[in-house]
Amino acid sequence: MRYEVDFLVIGSGIAGLSFALKVAPYGKVCILSKGEAAEGSTRYAQGGIAAVMYDSDSFDKHIHDTLVAGDGICDREVVEMTIREAPDRIRELVQYGVNFDKSRGSDRFDLHREGGHSEFRILHHKDNTGAEIERGLLEAVRSHPNIELKEHQFAIDIITQHHLGQRVTKHTPGIECYGVYALDCRTNEIDTYLAKVTLLATGGMGNVYTTTTTPIVSTGDGVAMVHRARGVLADLEFMQFHPTSLYNPAEKPAFLITEAMRGAGAILKDFKGHEFMHKYDARLSLAPRDIVARAIDNEMKIAGVDHLYLDARGIGKDELINGFPTIYAKCLELGINITKDMIPIRPAAHYQCGGIKVDRNGESSIKHLYAAGECACTGLHGGNRLASNSLLEAVVYAHNAAMSAINQISQSSQNTPNSQIPDWNAEGMVLNEEMVLITQTKRELQELMWNYVGIVRSDLRLQRAFDRLNLIFRETEDLYNRSVLTEELSELRNLIACAYLIIKMARARRENVGLHYSIDLVKDK
């Protein structure tokens, strides 16, 4: 089937949905989501969204905290713009129907604090903020007459001049996006979606690693699509590992223990129940994430154990049960009463700071192609994202991208060669009947990334990862070239592309900065 719309949105998390709501008054919008609409990192966000809402805090302080966490390589102008825009975007979320908690008996938002923040400035909805945001935005989208939301539609590749038979390299000037090819996961047909403007809002790539807090849909599809289309990507060496995922090895994704719990007073302890953060940073358990995750990794390696503890018992029973109901219930299910027992934790891949390079309007290096949310690299996070700045970045850039896209289609000088764009050609392909070829390769990929390209890296580990990835890449391309395309195979190719980009950028980064940390670079100093 062929479809034509004004605005095509790939992804139904906070970035895709808020962009769709903004552009909908100006044209026909279609949102494609590869699973159920609500599935994505957004709904799992616990801590909340950072913004300066009252005079007790200041933009300057939030800007300073963001720059410090980013380890000196944030884009300062982007940081200032994002943080100053934050209150307006928060008020819009509230208008869309999102509820944030208020302080008892008052009209003021109840604010939490997380690692790296010098003030209490995290708006939240108990400990399930993301689920509330996703609910509010989805309800608004579903009731908008100009928006069509299509679930189980897997975007495979963006359509460019390459599909018109032209040779496109990363040096080709004026690469343009005309839409995407997408697999209808229910009929197994590959459809052609043509659009004046396309937004990638495909989220993160946590599933490149064995242990991740991100859901199974986070397979770096947007980044891989742009890589294949020869667009510009940046900062992919900066994979953020969250210090405290619940240690429960069989569970995927790993369940998060929000940093807000440390903000409320919970303390990291080693395997014997002793505090250890004083050895690493004066901010103790509330140091920025890169520092805390490395400290935990180091303590685990020294003691030869696979988890440490978070001790929340000092917070008080009432606050634990009422303020963190999701975590309390989850732990209780596993026999851990967090008012009495320490919580077993370990780090997990959590957030990709880099991605599709975009300008301040969210526009990528490919014309008519925008990106927002976790798949985009705006310059806000630098070497390490400050907690709760991600949902904020997503709404700010969805807004900027929407304003620019509306402007772009109103000028409409775009001369899309729609009739010349061919449909997907699946001729001569056979059905891959051995799923093990995909599942085993995915496991190998995730393990090699976890062990060689994780929290602590070295030149030798990166070289080994690169060599092994090369073999995995060749085998998978061979499978891809002869098989009917499936969602699983497409995701595997995307994960391989993301792993390649992470390793390549990690090898090119010759200094320890933010989340990129190599033992060889320490020695060089």
Return the active site residues. 289
Question: How many Cβ atoms sit within 10 Å of the Cβ of residue 340?
Answer: 8
**Choosing among ligand SIN, ligand FAD, none, which partner's interface includes residue 382 (Cβ < 5 to 8 Å by kind)?**
none
Q: Which lies closer to ligand FAD via its Cβ, residue 120 or residue 280?
A: 120
Decide: is 231 part of the binding site for ligand FAD (CB under 6 A).
no
Distant-in-sequence contacts of 168-172, Cβ < 8 A, 24+ apart? 168/229, 168/230, 169/230, 170/230, 170/232, 172/230
Decide: is 466 part of the binding site for ligand FAD (CB under 6 A).
no
Decide: is 351 part of the binding site for ligand FAD (CB under 6 A).
yes
Decide: is 393 part of the binding site for ligand SIN (CB under 6 A).
no
Cα gap 291→206, rounded to integer Å:
19
Structure tokens at 439: 């599942």
**Choosing among ligand SIN, ligand FAD, none, which partner's interface includes residue 394 (Cβ < 5 to 8 Å by kind)?**
ligand FAD
Decide: is 258 part of the binding site for ligand SIN (CB under 6 A).
yes
Decide: is 387 part of the binding site for ligand SIN (CB under 6 A).
yes
Lookup result for tokens 């090119």: 508
Q: For the residues of 274-287, what is the DSSP string, one character each?
A: -B-GGGT-TTGGGS
Decide: is 41 part of the binding site for ligand SIN (CB under 6 A).
no
Structure tokens at 58: 């200041």
Distance from first CA to last CA of the chain, Å, rounded?
58
Q: Which range binds ligand SIN by CB under 6 A, 184-192, 252-260, 322-330, 336-344?
A: 252-260
Residues 337-356 that bind ligand SIN (CB under 6 A): 351
Decide: is 51 part of the binding site for ligand FAD (CB under 6 A).
no
Decide: is 48 part of the binding site for ligand FAD (CB under 6 A).
yes
CA dihedral angle for residue 283, residue 289, residue 292, residue 297, rounded to 10 degrees: -170
Report, in Å, the least distance between residue 292 CB and ligand SIN.
11
Cα gap 250→254, rounded to integer Å:
9
Cα gap 109→127, rounded to integer Å:
14
Q: Which lies closer to ligand FAD via its Cβ, residue 263 or residue 454?
A: 263
How many chain residues bind ligand SIN (CB under 6 A)? 9
- Residue among 244, 247, 268 nearest 258 (CA): 244
Decide: is 141 part of the binding site for ligand FAD (CB under 6 A).
no
Question: How many Cβ atoms sit within 10 Å of the Cβ of residue 157?
Answer: 20
Structure tokens at 28: 């026909």
Site residues, ligand FAD (CB under 6 A):
10-16, 32-35, 39-42, 44-49, 129-130, 154-155, 201-204, 213-214, 217-218, 221, 256, 350-351, 373-374, 388-391, 394
- List interacting residues with ligand SIN (CB under 6 A): 46-47, 258-260, 351, 387-388, 390
